[in-house]
């Protein structure tokens, strides 16, 4: 896969400045995390030592780093587009940080900025207004380039391959944690550098969408929800499939069929210009009409990119229109307390001709041993 070069980071910085201007901001303040990796090709540890990229709406970007991390910051592909400044232990690091910010400006701050750093800047810049970037610029990273979509597709294909492999393993008599460990291993074998989650929710545990895989022994007759993903080549995967140990009951098949229908209907509803909330509504209506509306207890989807959860969110109240290049999950579910749960999830990309799935493993109810 083609490497993201210096020019791409220069373009991202210019796009970030443009979006800041359009939002009436004086700039972006970006701390260690996915936003810093996206704009500066830099992912240092987030610590009590401040690292801060300032992308002004007008002017040249600058990044302040601890002097002990100067060489690492200077070695990034984006270094030629950013003025690099440093500070030393024993120095008041917030003085040079504040000097990069307008004393009466308005800035979007990356969501994962430590309160320690933001409060220190607020103390030194009482006339400056700071707002979370997700609230004022939620689409900052939402529309993906073709290269980003290729990376998401590769991560999705690797997750699909891990699922196909795990289907060949025995489930009955093994703990949820054991199957979760197998998924972790398989994701890494298929190219993931980081595994973010491996949800294995069997039997009644399947009614908890975010169940932590534990010591419960998976039994014959269990429905098992498998939700797993991580990072590969800098971009995320996230998929959910539901399997059954042995033959399912009529009730289990009925619930599965409803979720499968809801997921397909939501996928077919994706189109450029359609409000994000409409995709949630379509899936929710299918489930409600089948009599299970109260058991669909979360939004239908979330964006994905350098992190597995990011804007856009497909949820009631989100009136923002879908744009070509947006990538997000479609993952309706039904959760019956004390009994079982079912969820099916794919990552899809919106395009001018509709939607394309980035997960292509079978969405049927797989029977495992």
Q: What is the average per-residue pLDDT within 124-148?
A: 95
Q: Which helix (H) or strand (E) covers residue 240, if one does?
A: strand 239-245
Q: What is the pLDDT of residues 46-83, one digit of tens each?
A: 999 999 999 999 999 999 999 999 999 999 999 999 99
133, 108 Cβ separation under 8 angstroms = yes
Class of domain 6-136: alpha beta
To which H or E segment does residue 75 belong?
Answer: none
> pLDDT at position 6, please?
84
In whole angstroms, what is the distance from residue 349 CA to residue 356 CA?
5
Which pLDDT does position 162 carry in this prediction? Answer: 98
pLDDT surpasses 70 at 1: no
* Residue 243 and residue 167 in contact, taking contact as beta carbons nearer than 8 Å: yes
**CB–CB of 301/314 below 8 Å?**
yes
Q: What is the mean pLDDT of residues 262-276?
A: 98
- Ranges of beta strands (E only) in 11-73 are 27-30, 52-56, 62-66
Q: What is the dihedral of CA 168, 242, 237, 324, to 10 degrees?
A: 130
**Distance, CA of 185 to CA of 162 (rounded, Å):** 9
Q: How far apart are the C-alpha atoms of 283 and 330, rounded to whole Å?
A: 9
Q: Using a pLDDT cut of 70, give the percent of the chain over it.
A: 99
**Above 80 in pLDDT, residue 317?**
yes
pLDDT of the residue at 27 = 98
- Averaged over 12-21, what is the pLDDT? 96
Per-residue model confidence (pLDDT) at position 4: 73
Measured N-to-C along each axis, helices 250-269 and 276-289 cross at an angle, to the nearest 10 degrees, of: 150
Residues of the chain with CATH 3.40.350.10: 6-136
Are the C-beta atoms of 248 and 365 separated by less than 8 Å? yes
- CATH 3.90.230.10 range(s) for the chain read 146-368
Does 3 score more than 70 pLDDT? Answer: no
Those residues whose C-beta lies under 8 Å from the C-beta of residue 159, and which sit 6 or more positions away, are 187, 190, 192, 228, 229, 237, 238, 239, 359
- CA-nearest of 252, 243, 283, 270 to 366 is 243
- At residue 5 the predicted structure's pLDDT band, cuts being 50, 70 and 90, is confident
Q: Per-residue pLDDT for 89 more than 70? A: yes
Q: Is 3.30.720.110 the CATH classification of the domain at 146-368?
A: no
Dihedral-angle region of residue 118 (phi above 0 means left; psi in -120 to 50 means alpha; beta otherwise):
alpha
The predicted model scores a pTM of 0.93
Q: What's the mean pLDDT in 263-284?
A: 98
Beta-carbon contacts of 216 under 8 Å, excluding residues fewer than 6 positions away, are 175, 176, 202, 203, 205
31-52 confidence digits (pLDDT tens): 999 999 999 999 999 999 999 9
DSSP secondary structure letter of residue 313: E
pLDDT in tens, 167-186: 999 999 999 999 999 999 99
Is residue 121 within 8 A of residue 31, CB to CB? The reply is no
Does pLDDT of 111 surpass 90? yes
């Amino acid at each position: 896969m083609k490497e993201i070069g210096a020019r791409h980071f220069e373009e991202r910085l210019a796009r970030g400045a443009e979006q800041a201007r359009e939002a009436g901001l004086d700039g972006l303040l970006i701390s260690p995390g996915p936003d810093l990796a996206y704009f500066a090709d830099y992912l240092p540890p987030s610590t009590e030592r401040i690292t801060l990229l300032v992308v002004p709406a007008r002017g040249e970007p600058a990044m302040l780093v601890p002097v002990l991390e100067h060489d690492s910051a200077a070695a990034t592909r984006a270094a030629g587009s950013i003025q690099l400044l440093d500070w030393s232990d024993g120095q008041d690091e917030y003085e040079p940080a504040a000097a990069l910010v307008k004393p009466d400006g308005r800035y979007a701050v990356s969501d994962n900025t430590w309160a320690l750093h933001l409060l220190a800047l607020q103390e030194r810049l009482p006339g400056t207004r700071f707002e979370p970037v997700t609230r004022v610029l939620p689409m900052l990273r939402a529309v993906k380039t073709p290269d980003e979509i290729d990376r998401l597709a590769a991560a999705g294909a690797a997750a699909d391959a891990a699922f196909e492999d795990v289907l060949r393993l025995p489930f009955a008599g093994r703990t949820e944690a054991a199957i979760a460990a197998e998924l972790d291993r398989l994701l890494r074998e298929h190219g993931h550098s980081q595994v973010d989650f491996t949800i294995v929710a069997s039997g009644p545990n399947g009614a908890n969408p975010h169940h932590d895989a534990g010591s419960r022994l998976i039994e014959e007759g269990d429905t098992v929800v498998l939700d797993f993903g991580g990072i590969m080549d800098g971009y995320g995967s996230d998929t959910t499939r539901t399997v059954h140990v042995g033959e399912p009951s009529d009730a289990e098949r009925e619930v599965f069929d409803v979720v499968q229908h809801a997921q397909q209907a939501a996928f077919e509803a994706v189109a450029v210009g359609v409000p994000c909330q409409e995709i949630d509504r379509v899936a929710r209506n299918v489930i409600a009409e089948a009599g299970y509306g109260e058991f669909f207890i979360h939004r239908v989807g979330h964006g994905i990119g350098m992190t597995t959860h990011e804007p856009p969110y497909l949820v009631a109240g989100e009136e923002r229109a879908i744009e070509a290049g947006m990538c997000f999950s479609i993952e309706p579910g039904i959760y019956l307390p004390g009994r079982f749960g079912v969820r099916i999830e794919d990552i899809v990309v919106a395009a001018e001709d509709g939607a394309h799935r980035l997960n292509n493993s079978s969405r049927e109810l797989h029977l495992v041993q």
